[in-house]
Amino acid sequence: MRDLLVVENLRQIFGGRNQTFAVDDVSFRIPAEPTIVSLVGESGSGKSTIARIILGLLQPTAGRVLYDGADIAMSGRKWNRKFRGEVQAVFQDPYSVYNPVYKAERVLKLVIRKFGLAKSKAEAQAMMEEALRAVDLRPEEVLDRHPHQLSGGQRQRLMLARVYLMRPRLIVADEPVSMIDAGMRASFLNILQDFRDSHGISTLFITHDLSTAMYLGGEIIVLYQGRIMEQGATQTVMNAPLHPYAQLLISSIPTPDPRRRWDEDLSAAPLAEIGYGASAGRERCLFADRCPQVMDQCWGARPRLQAPKIDAVDSAQRDVACYLYE
Amino acid sequence: MPALLEIRGLSAGLQGRRSVTQVVSNVDLDVRSGEILGVVGESGCGKSTLATAIMRLLVPPQVLQSGSMTLRLNKGSSYDLVKLSESELRELRWRHLSYIPQGSMNSLNPVLRVERQMTDTLIQHGLSDKEARSRAIAALELVNLEPKILYSYPHELSGGMRQRVIIAAAVSMRPALIVADELTTALDVVTQRQILQELIGIRDELGATIILITHDMGVVAQIADRVAVMYAGKIAELGTVNGIFETPLHPYSQGLIGSIPRESGQRVEGLLGEAPSPWNYPTGCRFHPRCPKVFAHCRAQTPALQVQASDRWAACHLYDAEVAADA
């Protein structure tokens, strides 16, 4: 079967003289089978830029994105309509996506009208109610309200109800839970899992919060300064990261268990300065200046992303861009 | 251990045209000398109002309604923060108690160098220019920043560095009490870890007491000594971090800890329902509409925060022997 989404050698360079490599030769794919792929990284790692390119909101400097085998840069009304229907976005801020003067039901009604989903008013009403139940919202609690009367969690789930109406094949969710309360987070993530399991909807989940990626499972891609450092099955990577950057990132998660506190004091370690390196000096491992296991060759050329050469059962399930495993 | 700050019956709210809507209700809390006390809860539970009330920085329409807050400094002097005048408070703030508000890393003045912004307060508190400068450098050292940062403008610094500058400024007078509101919320995990570890260093070095307001249970588990769980303007449970995480007593704490996403494959359910806003706090126990263990008594009677075990307080009728027997 054709892959649902293929990202090929994507590159996004901003600025003129002081070039910023937001995305630097990134390739990955989301298979046809329903999957959740998490794209994780610190701020400045390029994860949101990748999301914007995939959604067609930004033209990449180089590389291409294939959706269902076709380049998304391809134009045409018919294709556009298919793409806009099948790929849905959920953004970070559950406050700014609503027009405050309209009632919450409008976000659902608009979709039904624009995509001609219902034939009658009654059918539209029934569809809205079903969609709301799918995201654990009670229709009477939200439909008649204005956005400011809803909590962040309710608003974000309402966006999922809107997505559900469209029955897309792919959801691109950019930090969807970072502004909602911990208690609501789990239920939002559960809905994404239900969408995958019961409705065959895949999700590209973009986050800086590794614990949510861990919970979602599926696949994970760890980005650093616009490059993929490690990718593979989430459980494999999270339990035993190979790349020193992935190790640092994963060991820094504040585990919600006071008996498992950070053992090593990092406070005096060299500060993590986000240097969006200039074009010169990028032909190396970008993590070399912070890496505790740095070697001479790390400064010489860019390490390739490939299966690690180690004797481990899981080595086939992931790729690492690090000379330690070549 | 003596309490550095003893809060009794503290209530604060929002002044309306006719009445006051209470946001924080009747909080009793002892903050022990030298501890890191985590205050957790969902958004809108009154955490930040409590923090600003402690600092006496409530601004209209926020009002401090009642209560006392006794600050005992080690030289034997003690103050009731509620009764102090603005000029007396001005003397205390920064010198003895300092505050790091939410989002303060974005509050640095973009047109002034870090040096001015750090030394201004010190000079206001009577230090000479030279003393102020050396204090500022010493404070920067606590957060692993080099003295040359003094000559930088805020835009030249990363988010983590700006947050460190704010922390350095807050501790430059070596205060006894530091109230930090969502200190690391906007930062990346690696930076968050470094800053939290620096905070522990500051506590150890200065012997400071820290109240850390956060919604992140992971942060609390990593660095707090004790935890106060707030719900709808009240303290639902208070205890040691190990105790609260291992055997949470209050159904709200249980829900909060139970809803943390952990391993994949282990599905957790979120807390059902929404936290009430101060305009419609429920009667009786404010958690009763969301509580899985609710019984008749909870709807009518407000539970008091009571000792349940050594070093553990909870406000729940389930642990109220007489009431529970009736039910």
- Chain-centre distance of CA A308, in angstroms? 24
Residue A274: pLDDT above 70?
no
Residue B192 lies in a domain: yes
Give pLDDT, residue B71: 96
Residue A94: pLDDT above 80?
no
Q: Which of A104-108, B63-67, B110-114, B250-254 has the lowest mean pLDDT?
A: A104-108
pLDDT per position as a tens digit, A165-218: 999 999 999 998 887 877 788 888 999 999 999 999 999 999 988 889 999 999
Same domain, B170 and B121: yes
Percent of chain A with pLDDT strictly greater than 70: 94
pLDDT tier at A270, thresholds 50, 70, 90? low
Would the CA dihedral through A255, A260, A261, A265 be positive or negative? negative
- Which of B117, B149, B174 is the C-terminal boundary of a domain? B174
**What's the average model confidence in pLDDT over B170-183?**
95
Looking at the complex, report in whole angstroms how far the Cα of residue A66 sits from the nearest Cα belonging to chain B.
Answer: 29
Q: Rounded mean pLDDT of chain B?
A: 92
Residue A17: pLDDT above 80?
no
Q: In chain A, whose CA is at the least distance from the CA of B254?
A: A183
Identify all chain A residues contacting B263, using CB atoms and an 8 Å cutoff. Answer: 214-215
The residues in A 38-97 lying below 8 A from B, measured between CB atoms, are 42-43
**What's the average model confidence in pLDDT over B314-318?**
96
**What's the average model confidence in pLDDT over A302-308?**
93
pLDDT per position as a tens digit, B252-292: 999 999 888 877 677 888 787 778 889 999 999 999 999 99
SS3 sequence of chain B:
CCEEEEEEEEEEEEECCCCEEEEEEEEEEEEECCCEEEEECCCCCCHHHHHHHHCCCCCCCEEEEEEEEEEECCCCCEEECCCCCHHHHHHHECCCEEEECCCHHHCCCCCCCHHHHHHHHHHHCCCCHHHHHHHHHHHHHHCCCCHHHHHCCHHHCCHHHHHHHHHHHHHCCCCCEEEEECCCCCCCHHHHHHHHHHHHHHHHHHCCEEEEEECCHHHHHHHCCEEEEEECCEEEEEEEHHHHHHCCCCHHHHHHHHCCCCCCCCCCCCCCCCCCCHHHCCCCCCCHHHCCCCCHHHHHCCCCCEEEECCEEECCHHHCHHHHHHC
Give pLDDT, residue A61: 95
- Which of B150, B174, B198 is the C-terminal boundary of a domain? B174
Residue B204 lies in a domain: yes
Residue A110 — φ and ψ, nearest 5°? -60, -45
Would the CA dihedral through A251, A254, A256, A262 be positive or negative? positive
Helix (H) or strand (E) holding A32: none
Between β-strands B36-40 and B226-231, what pairing exists: parallel, antiparallel or unpaired?
parallel
pLDDT tier at A278, thresholds 50, 70, 90? very low
- Cβ neighbours of residue A39 under 8 Å, at least 6 residues apart? A47, A50, A51, A204, A205, A206, A207, A221, A223
User: Would the CB atoms of B219 and A254 count as touching at under 8 Å?
Assistant: yes
Instruction: Enter the ipTM.
Output: 0.87
User: Would the CB atoms of B261 and A215 count as touching at under 8 Å?
Assistant: yes
Count Cβ–Cβ pairs < 8 Å, chain A vs chain B. 141
pLDDT tier at A310, thresholds 50, 70, 90? confident
Give pLDDT, residue A311: 72
Same domain, B75 and B191: yes
Q: What's the pTM value of the predicted model, to 2 decimals? A: 0.91
Are B267 and A189 in contact, with CB atoms under 8 Å apart? no
Give pLDDT, residue A244: 95
Same domain, B124 and B168: yes
| Listed residue (B64, B61, B58) closest to B7, CA to CA | B64
Residue A272: pLDDT above 80?
no
Give pLDDT, residue A277: 42
Domain extent for B183: 3-96+175-262+278-326
Give pLDDT, residue A275: 45
User: Would the CB atoms of B222 and A259 count as touching at under 8 Å?
Assistant: no
What CATH number does the domain containing B242 carry? Answer: 3.40.50.300
Residue A140: pLDDT above 90?
no
Residue B321: pLDDT above 90?
no
Give pLDDT, residue A280: 46
pLDDT tier at B7, thresholds 50, 70, 90? very high
Residue B271 lies in a domain: no
Residue B273 lies in a domain: no
Give pLDDT, residue A269: 65
Same domain, B182 and B287: yes
Same domain, B81 and B28: yes
pLDDT per position as a tens digit, B14-36: 999 999 999 999 999 999 999 99
Identify all chain A residues contacting B216, using CB atoms and an 8 Å cutoff. Answer: 182, 254
Dist. CA B112–CA A117, nearest whole Å: 56
Report the number of distinct structural domains present in chain B: 2
Give pLDDT, residue A312: 65
Give pLDDT, residue A279: 42
Same domain, B225 and B83: yes
Residue B272 lies in a domain: no
Looking at the complex, report in whole angstroms how far the Cα of residue B3 sits from the nearest Cα belonging to chain A.
Answer: 23
Looking at the complex, report in whole angstroms how far the Cα of residue B90 sits from the nearest Cα belonging to chain A.
Answer: 32
User: Would the CB atoms of A252 and B161 count as touching at under 8 Å?
Assistant: no
Same domain, B15 and B162: no
Residue B282 lies in a domain: yes
Same domain, B28 and B127: no
pLDDT per position as a tens digit, A20-76: 889 999 999 999 999 999 999 988 899 999 999 999 999 999 999 999 999 998 778
Same domain, B21 and B80: yes
Residue B66: pLDDT above 60?
yes
- Which of B123, B143, B174 is the C-terminal boundary of a domain? B174
Give me the amino acid identity at B297.
H
